[in-house]
Amino acid sequence: MGEILILENIVSEVTSHQDPCVLFGKKDYVNAEGTFYDFIFHSLKIHYEKANPGKLLAVPVLPVLEDSQAVIAANDLYRIHPNFSRIAFRDTKNRLRHKNQIYGTFLTFLDIKKNELGTSVESLPDYTITNEQEFRNHFPNGSEIWSYIMSLKEQVDKQHC
């Protein structure tokens, strides 16, 4: 799995409530300057058990948890649903950006991997936030890619709503 690229409106929407939700995206979809990103382009207020991602990446979002609780919850969820190898949780710890404290609710992503000893849960360092215009401007065929992403979003909505 690649690093995470997520739409700005998705971060705002998901961190503004505590409802169960699932993020949807494409694995290793965006290649920018040699770095592959998992592009998260949609979220639905559904319980993870109702998510049917098909070939898409589905990331369940857990409520606000302390780090240790999140690792346990992610491991438990992975044991029951091994198709969720990336899980997010809402995090209210202050963040330091450019030497300034930022307050609010953020997302923290965890990767879960099966190994010979069991499972490992690793916290991802951060994610990149973009918006539609930045995304379109970055790629020569950005409008075509964006149209494809919107068609995937419609497919997810039809399948789950």
Q: Report yes or no: 48 and 81 within 8 Å, Cβ to Cβ.
A: yes
Structural domain boundaries enclosing 50:
3-160
- Taking Cα atoms as reference points, which of 86, 84, 91, 69 lies closest to residue 15? 91
Domain of residue 47, CATH code: 3.40.140
Q: Quick one: what percent of the chain has pLDDT higher than 70? A: 91
Structural domain count of the chain: 1
Q: What is the pLDDT of residues 40-84, one digit of tens each?
A: 999 999 988 888 888 899 999 988 777 788 888 888 999 898 889
Phi, psi of 17 (to 5 degrees): -145, 170
pLDDT at 95: 56
Q: What's the chain's average pLDDT?
A: 85
pLDDT at 94: 56
Helix (H) or strand (E) holding 153: helix 142-160
79 burial class (0-12, 13-18, 19+ CB within 10 angstroms)?
exposed
